[in-house]
Amino acid sequence: MGVFDKILKADESLFKNIDALDFAFVPKIIPYREGEQRRVAAAVQPLFSDRNGKNLLIHGLPGVGKTVACKKVLQELEEKSDDIIPIYVNCWQKNTSYKVVIEICEQLGYRFTQNKKTDELFKEIVKQLNKRKVVFVFDEIDKAEDSDFIYTLLEDIYRKTIILITNYRTYLEGMDDRITSRLMPELIEFKPYNVDEMSGILKQRLEYAFFPDVWETEAFEMVVQKAASLQDVRVGIHLLKDCGDAAENKASRKITSDHAKESLAKRDEFETLRSTDLKNEDKVILSIVKKNSKKKIGELFRLYTEAGGKSVYKTFQRKIKALEEQGFVNLTKSTGEGGNTTIVEYKERTKTLADF
């Protein structure tokens, strides 16, 4: 038998619309996030009556619907108003003020960007945007290497709402006071979904993506439980697709608990790999702090980069903060010539029984 013999023919696929399992797919309805979407809409509302909008900091764990809920509000806004411009920027991809402004130019259809510096480009977009009103969503804001663009927009755009999305509630703590005092955002937390909500969301996705009756209930339940235990819809969607692939590869017309077991096992393996990776990175950072205790965080970051560390400064700051929360280091603020900085001190931990 040839290697392709057992594969279902194209017209026998279990997938009705595989695109619905793409992470960029925005479903028609985003269930269980009505309250959050209403709060986002309320922050934008003043723009309809020519007043300045409110700013928001949206935070929550990965895969809890922050991006999709905000994109949905922007979509609706676009349908409702020609006068309010929605601008969405992912700061993981566009992680400097220059890249952000280029992206905004692109979304506004302004093409004369070549050979222009960041501030010249800002002047151009400010001119255009001040004729109307704007909602900015800066997603994954903690991945931005500088936040000058936020300052510029806060200062120079008259009528706007700025929405920042991050996984970290404490994100603003590391920010320049000049920004936080102007931004004054309202905080919205996206809490993880419970099992029933996870089940509802994945059921909806399943109906978009698969032909009716191809999923056995038990297999679907296994996916729901896994996604709910990790509190991440993205995991659930990935598993739906992976189970579908596993069943197709075996030329099965049903997705059974065996296929689900196979996919879950793959997922567990991936998680183990990821967690050891993370721990190693933290160990490297901690060993640098130990050798250079009571140094400034910027100095430690330089040493970390020299040692081959790949994270950007913001991520490094966050990891240091996490080490503090776990009791490995002490952080103190100090004001010196160069402004405020954080001093990181290695905490000698008292011995415990486990150390002997």
| Cα–Cα distance list, 309 to 40, 93, 100, 151, 282 (Å) | 37, 20, 25, 29, 11
Q: How far apart are CA 47 and CA 56, in angstroms?
A: 14
**Please, what is the minimum distance in Å from the beta carbon of residue 139 to ligand ATP?**
7
Q: Which two tokens stand for residue 253?
A: 């017309």
All residues at 6 or more sequence positions from 335 whose CB lies less than 8 Å from its CB, including other chains: 341
Beta carbon of residue 139, minimum distance to Mg ion (angstroms, whole number): 6
Extract the tokens encoding 289: 């702090």
The entry of Mg ion, ligand ATP, none that residue 32 binds, CB within 5 to 8 Å by partner kind: ligand ATP
In the complex, the smallest distance separating the C-beta of residue 3 from ligand ATP, rounded to whole angstroms, is 32
Q: Which does 86 bind (CB under 5 to 8 A by kind): Mg ion, ligand ATP, none?
A: none
What does the binding site for ligand ATP look like in residue numbers (CB under 6 A)? 23, 27, 30-33, 60, 62-68, 167, 201, 233-234, 237
> Residues in contact with Mg ion, total (CB under 5 A)?
1
Least distance to ligand ATP, CB of residue 167, Å: 5
Q: Which residue is nearest to Mg ion (CB)?
A: 67
**What secondary structure does DSSP assign to 144-197, as a single string?**
-S--HHHHHHHHH-SSEEEEEEES-GGGGGGS-HHHHHHH-PEEEEEPPP-HHH
- Could you say which of Mg ion, ligand ATP, none residue 309 binds, taking C-beta under 5 to 8 angstroms by partner kind? none
- Rounded least distance, CB 70 to Mg ion, Å: 8
How far apart are the C-alpha atoms of 46 and 52, rounded to whole Å? 6
Bridge-based pairing state of the strands 329-336 and 160-166: unpaired
**In what side-by-side order are the strands of the sheet with 56-60?**
84-90, 133-139, 160-166, 56-60, 186-190
Q: Which residue, 123 or 169, is less far from Mg ion as judged by CB? A: 169
| Identified binder of Mg ion from the candidate list 55, 67, 166, 199, rule CB under 5 A | 67
Q: Is 53 or 65 the residue whose CB approaches ligand ATP more closely?
A: 65
Q: Contact, 321 vs 341, CB < 8 A?
A: no
Q: How far is the CB of 263 from ligand ATP (least distance, A)?
A: 17
Q: Binds 68, which of ligand ATP, Mg ion, none (CB < 5 to 8 A, cut-off by type)?
A: ligand ATP
Q: Which is nearer to Mg ion, 67 or 147 (CB)?
A: 67
* Residue 110: φ, ψ to 5°: -90, 120
> Is the sign of the CA dihedral 221, 226, 232, 237 positive or negative?
negative
Q: Which does 233 bind (CB under 5 to 8 A by kind): ligand ATP, Mg ion, none?
A: ligand ATP
Q: Which is nearer to Mg ion, 58 or 183 (CB)?
A: 58
CB atoms within 10 A of CB 5: 7
State the minimum distance, in angstroms, from the CB of residue 190 to ligand ATP. 6
Please identify the residue of the shown chain whose CB is closest to the bound ligand ATP.
Answer: 65
* Interface residue list for Mg ion (CB under 5 A): 67
